[in-house]
Amino acid sequence: MSDDDRTLVADGFTETASDYEDAVRFNIEGGQRLVMSIPAGSYDDVLDVGCGTGWTTQAIVDRFRPARITGVDPSEGMLEQFQAKLGGIEGVEVTLAQGDVENMPVPDAAFDLVVCAMAYHWFPRKWAAAEAMAAKMKPGGVLAILCSGRGGEQAYRDILANMEPPNYVWLGAFDAVQRDIPEMEDYLVQAGLEVEDIWMERRVRHTTVEAYTQRMRVVASHLIGDMPEDEAEAYLAEVERRMREASGPRGWTYDFTKLYAIARKPG
């Protein structure tokens, strides 16, 4: 992924920031489960990487009440929403910084807890991202990651794969983002961390075609970014038509897989 592609991801999130909260409520609950899985302890300095609108930060505040939280995200729109929502938490100093995971404007070895919820799958260089986050942890600090797991969204992928001509960029994006347990273990070990726990969660959901495509638009609009607008409209309309055809009495059925990891920095 080039620097232009990184900008595309951030711009995509900025464009859809206002529709975002509604479309990603399952992610929000995932972030809450991630935070509940962090070992009990006292975490004064927390870094939230790809902090978005601050849902996971909110869960951290509720559980650990840290002294300071720093949120880093490349998307201006997401940071604005974060600021509006969580700017003034009493007793917690919140700092927001615009930046990419590999270029975070925060000091090294300064954080007791680094959390990264539903953002790691967007990081183009997975080993470098794990290393960049590990560099920000104090010795003994904890890293908690939640990201998209391999195997999810297969029904949607099947529809895309049968489109004529297939959109290889979009199809390939699933492989580029989703990860399995051994891959995540490798990123963390290579970054010098001790893995404490890694697990997958797989859910089958039923929804409407409209709700599903709206979520895709909000979290992955950049993936069709290089298609001319009218072509993209026609393409998406055909995808939706096929999804309706494949829907049953409970609507559009799909599975979603989430990968969780907790690791510690030795020392």
Ligand X SMILES: C[S@@+](CC[C@H](N)C(=O)[O-])C[C@H]1O[C@@H](n2cnc3c(N)ncnc32)[C@H](O)[C@@H]1O
Footprint of ligand X on this chain (CB under 6 A)? 6, 9-10, 13, 24, 27, 31, 49-53, 55-56, 73-75, 78, 100-101, 117-119, 122-123, 219
Nearer to ligand X, 183 or 242 (CB): 183
Position closest to ligand X via CB: 52
Nearer to ligand X, 52 or 149 (CB): 52
Nearer to ligand X, 20 or 254 (CB): 20
Closest approach of Cβ 58 to ligand X, in Å? 8
Q: At what angle do helices 25-36 and 55-64 cross, to 10 degrees?
A: 30
Closest approach of Cβ 57 to ligand X, in Å? 8
Nearer to ligand X, 13 or 212 (CB): 13
Closest approach of Cβ 141 to ligand X, in Å? 18
Nearer to ligand X, 24 or 209 (CB): 24
Nearer to ligand X, 49 or 193 (CB): 49
Q: Which amino acid is present at 138?
A: K
| Per-residue H/E/C for the chain | CCHHHHHHHHHHHHHHHHHHHHHCHHHHHHHHHHHHCCCCCCCCEEEEECCCCCHHHHHHHHHHCCCEEEEEECCHHHHHHHHHHHCCCCCCEEEEEECCHHHCCCCCCCEEEEEEECCHHHCCCHHHHHHHHHHCEEEEEEEEEEEEECCCCHHHHHHHHCCCCCCHHHHHHHHHHCECHHHHHHHHHHCCCEEEEEEEEEEEEEECHHHHHHHHHHHHHHHHCCCCHHHHHHHHHHHHHHHHHHCECCEEEEEEEEEEEEEECCC
